Amino acid sequence: MSGPDSKPTSAASAAFPQSGDFGKGVRMREDDPVSQSPPLRGKRKSRAVQLGRPARALFEDAVKTARELKRRYRAFYDADLNGFRTTVRKAHSRVFRLKPGPKPDARIATAARERAAGATWASLYPKYIDHYSGMPEFTCALAEEGFRRKVNGYLQRRRRMRRQVTPTQQIPTGRRVPCPPRAAVE
């Protein structure tokens, strides 16, 4: 007890008068240089980026929404933190989607529709490859291959547009082989 007026509030205060009532052991002395932190002069430097009003409001709303999600799905958050974060990250990337790379060419989509309708490659090349008629043979072959790759890739990503199997199938060697005749239904 430091003064005649002070009364100990607990047994710990009576046994250790300098410790206070916090249960953290003996309080560090004020003259101990190790326990003292250097005094702050002026404002503490913040590492946070200074945001304008709209950006600050957006940031606060995003934090508020994230906290609400965390509260609402607390059981999932406690059970699987990484799964929770992955799910939220996937949702964010779906909503705020950035599509890197070159933008799709509208001519490829149109050519893919025609190809799905049954057009031959030879009829599509001069129509959709720029300067096709003036290309040398080697460049022409490269352009045809790239065009076919793009159109087939477009069709593979859109299953509905794929052509139906025709009675005559194309074999990789280039020969056309007719399908076997169907049995007559009586």
Q: What is the pLDDT of residues 50-73, one digit of tens each?
A: 667 888 888 899 999 999 999 999
Q: How confident is the model at residue 7 (pLDDT cuts 50, 70, 90)?
A: low
DSSP 10: S
Whether 111 and 134 share a structural domain: yes
130 found inside a domain: yes
Q: Three-state SS for 169?
A: strand
pLDDT of residue 28 exceeding 60: no
Last residue of a domain, one of 95, 125, 144: 95
117 shares a domain with 85: no
Residues 116 and 151 in one domain: yes
- Say if residues 143 and 134 touch (Cβ distance below 8 Å): no
pLDDT of residue 57: 87
Answer yes or no: is 44 within a domain: no
Burial class (CB in 10 A: 0-12, 13-18, 19+), 124: buried
Q: Is the pLDDT of residue 75 over 60?
A: yes
| 153 against 8, higher pLDDT | 153
Mean pLDDT rounded to a whole number for the chain: 75
Confidence check: pLDDT of 2 > 90: no
Q: Is there a single domain that holds both residue 84 and residue 129?
A: no
Instruction: Tell me how far apart the alpha carbons of residues 18 and 32 are, in angstroms, rounded to a whole number.
Output: 14
What tokens appear for 181 in the block? 């005749």
Report the distance separating Cα 70 and Cα 63, nearest Å.
Answer: 10
pLDDT at position 184 is 55
Question: How large is the average pLDDT for residues 86-105?
Answer: 80
Residue 73 resides in a domain: yes
Number of domains in the chain: 2
Rounded distance between C-alpha atoms, residue 144 and residue 137, angstroms = 10
Query: Tokens representing 37?
Result: 């932190």
3-state class of 168 per DSSP? strand
Give the CA diameter of the chain: 117
Q: Is 71 contained in some domain?
A: yes
- Are residue 88 and residue 119 in the same domain, yes or no? no
pLDDT at 41: 64
Between residues 98 and 13, the one the model is more confident about: 98
Cα–Cα distance between 35 and 93 in angstroms, integer?
A: 47
Query: Is the residue at 79 inside a domain?
Result: yes
Residue with tokens 């129509």: 127
Is the residue at 30 inside a domain?
no
pLDDT winner (highest mean) among 5-9, 22-26, 66-70, 180-184: 66-70
User: Could you tell me the residue range of the domain that residue 70 belongs to?
Assistant: 54-95
Same-domain check for residues 81 and 119:
no
For residue 171, the model assigns a pLDDT of: 46
Q: What is the pLDDT of residue 127?
A: 93
